[in-house]
Amino acid sequence: MKPLVRRILVGGLPVAAALAVIGYLMAELAGGFLSNHPTASDPLGAELAAKAADTFRTRMPLGMAAWGFGLVALYEVVLFVLRGNPPPPTAPPAKAPAPTDAVLKDLLTRADAAGAVPAPAPCPPAGDPDNTRTAEPTPPG
As a whole number of angstroms, the distance between CA 99 and CA 105 comes to 10
pTM (whole model) above 0.85: no
User: What is the model's pLDDT at position 133?
Assistant: 59
User: What is the model's pLDDT at position 40?
Assistant: 56
Q: What is the mean pLDDT of each run of 10 residues along the chain (141 residues)?
A: 88 95 91 71 74 85 94 94 82 77 84 69 65 62 59
User: What is the model's pLDDT at position 72?
Assistant: 95
Residue 93 buriedness (CB in 10 A; 0-12 / 13-18 / 19+): exposed
Phi, psi for residue 74 in degrees, rounded to 5: -65, -45
